[in-house]
Amino acid sequence: MFEIISNLIAAFFTLAIFSFLYKDNPMYRLAEQLLVGISVGYGIPLTWQNAFIPFVYQPIFIQHKWYLIIPCLFGLMYVVRFSRSLSWLARYPIAIGMGMTGAGVVLSMNAGVLVQMRSAMQPIDNINMLLIFIGTVTVLLYFYFSKAHTGFYGKITKVGVWFMMIGFGASFGNTVMARISLLIGRIQFLVYDVIMGFIK
Amino acid sequence: MEFIKKLQDLDRRWIYLIVALAIVIPLLIPFNAPTYTTSPTEKLYQMIDSYSEREDRAILICFAHDASTMAELYPMEVAILRHCFERDVKVFTLTFLPTAAPLINYAIDMVKEEYPEIQSGTNYINIGYKPGALYLPIVVGMGDNIAEAVETDAEGRKLESLPMMKGLTNYNELKLVIETSGASFAGGWITYARARYGVNVAAGVTAVMAADAYPYLQTGQLTGMLSGMKGAAEYEYLTDVFAAYSSDDYPNGRPFSKQVLKDKEEISKIDIAKKYDPETKTGIMYKWKTARLGMNAQSVAHMMIFIFILIGNIGFFIDRHQQNKEKK
């Protein structure tokens, strides 16, 4: 019984969201705002239970690890962001956060730049490597703006544009596939879970 | 000509309706479209399969998405979990998103229904939700000691006390991390866990994210990748052909083989159009073929979109040709 009711509620809100395709209406807006509200409402008690209790309350008040009050105070400094006179205090936790992110720059450089460069510098022993070579060089030349894109140089950069267009096309094709998949997911729910479930 | 002109002015809502029908009809009347598997999916499948029945090997699935991308990512998670339960591969599940926590339970419960012998703590450990602020300490900490880095599972049990942890200490044993995400491609795992500890990282991504992830796949930083609903369909298919296969020679699934995938007689046995019969236990259950049925609708919808683009372009060029004629 619970499953039928929950499925019917989900089906109602799915159709309410789809109704936007016809035109904007109050049902669509209700569903949209409920989604945001429920997500936040769900996240707060879950974070309280899984973050505050095991990592703040229990260590400080039960295990008496008093030094943990220091990071908690830094965390609380985020809240003073809403006060005009004290908002400057929020910069400290932001600075610490930025510092932690910065610690990952070296490793990110390895994964995002160095390894990518190394794999682009392979011997051209097959058609794929040749295409990668031409694509990398011509696209890089396109983004070199200290020389006018005219004459022979302009023709080379045009090849780079073509490579980018093919890349964008592939990316757009994937996007269409992803959006259709989301629609399929919802229709599968309506067809198999709601309608078929009701018939059973 | 008038017809083409009328099509140019067609209300977009008619197009929505046609696309919706192009999806609903193949779902109501399923057909057995062939599923071709790609190398990134096969590599991931083979890696997981190589950990079968090994005490000192495990994989981790990191659920990094909420319900909005379930259509693409959830069938992947179900297929991977099914593969692991079929082939006795130890699994950890984890999330840093509060909204993904119920999805883990939902996926595990759905798969477990068909595997009554599978036990929490023995065959799998659901670490559950851990706050995003702990992402780095956990990802890096698991390189030293998994039980110390995450401490407790979703049920509040100490990890070190669970039987599955026997033989598992850190990334030396937890050899593969799979992140299913609609907004990233396991970047954090690649940066911190792979670069520092050499753990294999794979990604299950939405099709939108696939283009961004390909450079990491090409450089070998991603061991395997499931791309959108297509990737999920491929994994479902491989699980059916190999892991869920049963015969006198292979009672608990058979090893991956390219030859089997090319064998038309073997492949014809996998029929997604046939309804599952619970009494004779023939056919494939709906939950094991969700992505493949979805791909049927996907193919028809793509054809419709292609036809619309073609008609739109024909109309555009005819219109331009006529305008040029009038100018002259």
- One-character DSSP codes across B8-62: HT--HHHHHHHHHHHHHHHHHS---------HHHHHHHHHHHTTTT-TT-EEEEE
Residue B269 DSSP symbol: T
For residues B60 and B203, state if they share a domain: yes
pLDDT higher than threshold 90 for residue A103: no
Q: Which residues contact A46 (CB under 8 A, 6 or more apart)?
A: B98, B101, B129
Query: Are B211 and A46 in contact (CB < 8 Å)?
Result: no
| Per-residue pLDDT tens digits for A110-126 | 888 899 888 888 899 89
How many interface pairs between A and B have CB atoms less than 8 angstroms apart? 127
The pLDDT score that the predictor gives to residue B1 is: 67
A187 touching B (Cβ < 8 Å): yes
Query: Are B207 and A182 in contact (CB < 8 Å)?
Result: no
Count the domains in chain B.
2
| Per-residue pLDDT tens digits for B227-255 | 999 999 999 999 999 999 988 888 889 99
For residues B263 and B188, state if they share a domain: yes
pLDDT confidence tier of residue B5, bands split at 50, 70 and 90: confident
pLDDT mean across residues, chain B: 92
- Average pLDDT value for residue range A171-188: 93
pLDDT confidence tier of residue B150, bands split at 50, 70 and 90: very high
For residues B112 and B24, state if they share a domain: no
CATH number of domain containing B117: 3.40.50
The pLDDT score that the predictor gives to residue B275 is: 87
Task: Let me know if residue B279 belongs to a domain.
Answer: no
Q: How many Å lie between the alpha carbon of A108 and the closest alpha carbon of chain B?
A: 6
**Number of neighbours of residue B247 by Cβ within 10 angstroms:** 8
Query: Are A115 and B228 in contact (CB < 8 Å)?
Result: no
A128 touching B (Cβ < 8 Å): no
**Number of neighbours of residue B205 by Cβ within 10 angstroms:** 33
Residue whose C-alpha is closest to residue B37's, from B221, B241, B206: B241
Helix (H, G, I), strand (E, B) or coil at B64: strand
For residues B79 and B166, state if they share a domain: yes
Query: Are B211 and A167 in contact (CB < 8 Å)?
Result: yes
pLDDT higher than threshold 90 for residue B134: no
Query: Are A188 and B71 in contact (CB < 8 Å)?
Result: yes
Of B27, B211, B294, the CB nearest to A171: B211
Residue whose C-alpha is closest to residue B40's, from B177, B189, B182, B203: B203
Tokens coding B210: 């696939």
Cα angle A129-A134-A136, degrees, rounded to a multiple of 5: 90
For residues B214 and B73, state if they share a domain: yes
Cα angle A30-A35-A41, degrees, rounded to a multiple of 5: 120
pLDDT confidence tier of residue B58, bands split at 50, 70 and 90: very high
Between B108 and B183, whose confidence is greater?
A: B108
Compute the distance between CA of residue B292 and CA of residue B210 in angstroms, rounded to an integer: 19
B210 touching A (Cβ < 8 Å): yes
Chain A interface mutation, best of B65, B191, B230, B272, highest count of A Cβ atoms under 10 Å: B191
For residues B199 and B238, state if they share a domain: yes
B141 touching A (Cβ < 8 Å): no
B211 touching A (Cβ < 8 Å): yes
Q: How many Å lie between the alpha carbon of B99 and the closest alpha carbon of chain A?
A: 7
For residues B75 and B216, state if they share a domain: yes
- Average pLDDT value for residue range B135-142: 93
Nearest CA in chain B to A109: B191
* Domains of chain A by residue range: 2-106, 107-199
For residues B184 and B90, state if they share a domain: yes
* Gyration radius from chain A CA atoms: 27
A25 touching B (Cβ < 8 Å): no
Of A42, A167, A184, the CB nearest to B294: A184
The pLDDT score that the predictor gives to residue A200 is: 63
For residues B195 and B262, state if they share a domain: yes
Q: Report B:169-208 residues touching A (Cβ under 8 A).
A: 187, 190-192, 194-196, 206-208
pLDDT higher than threshold 80 for residue B4: no
Partners of A55 on chain B (C-beta within 8 Å) are 131, 134
Partners of B71 on chain A (C-beta within 8 Å) are 181-182, 184-186, 188
For residues B91 and B209, state if they share a domain: yes
C-alpha dist (Å) from residue B51 to B122, B142, B199: 16, 19, 14
Structural domain span for residue B58: 39-270
The pLDDT score that the predictor gives to residue A13 is: 94
For residues B12 and B159, state if they share a domain: no
Residue whose C-alpha is closest to residue B186's, from B204, B174, B207: B204
The pLDDT score that the predictor gives to residue A58 is: 92
